[in-house]
Structure 1
C-alpha cells in the first residue's frame, strides 16, 4: 500500500514537472515575442500565473519535500529492521 502511494505520488510529480517546464518554456517564448512585438500569449500566461502556475510550482516543491522525507524515513526504518 505504501509503495503504491509513493509510486502514485512520484507519477503525479513527474506529470507536474512537465507542466512546470512547459509553463517556463511558454513564458520564455512569450517574453521574447513580447520584446519583438509579436503576440505569443504573454498576457494569457500572466493571467494563468496565479491560478494555475503558482499552485503547480507549490505542489512540485511540496511533493519533492514529502518524497525526500518519505525516502529518508524508509531508509531509517529499513536500517532499523536490518539491525534486528
Structure 2
C-alpha cells in the first residue's frame, strides 16, 4: 500500500507543477490580452478544457484520495502514523 501512495504522491507533485505553470501562463497571457500583446491567450484557452481542467481535477481528487487512504491506514493499520 505504501508503494501505491508513493506513486500517487509523485504523480501529484508533477501535477502541482503543471497547474502552477498553467496559472503563471494564464496570468501572463491575460495581461498580454488586456494590453493587446499576443502572449499565448488563444493557445492557453484552447488547452484549458483538455489539459488544465483535468489536471486541476486530478490534483484535488488525488489529494482527497491520499488523505482518505492515509486516514484509513492509520485507523485500521495500527501503525500509529
Report the TM-score, using the length of structure 1 for normalisation.
0.89
Q: Which has the larger radius of gyration?
A: 1
Would you say how many aligned residue pairs link Structure 1 and Structure 2? 80
Unpaired runs of at least 5, structure 1: none
What residue is the counterpart of 1:20 in the other structure?
19
What residue is the counterpart of 2:42 in the other structure?
43
Following TM superposition, where does structure 1 have runs of at least 4 consecutive aligned residues deviating by more than 4 angstroms?
Answer: none
Report the TM-score, using the length of structure 2 for normalisation.
0.93
Specify the SS of the correspondent of 1:40.
coil
- The two structures, once aligned, show a CA RMSD in angstroms of 1.3
Unpaired runs of at least 5, structure 2: none
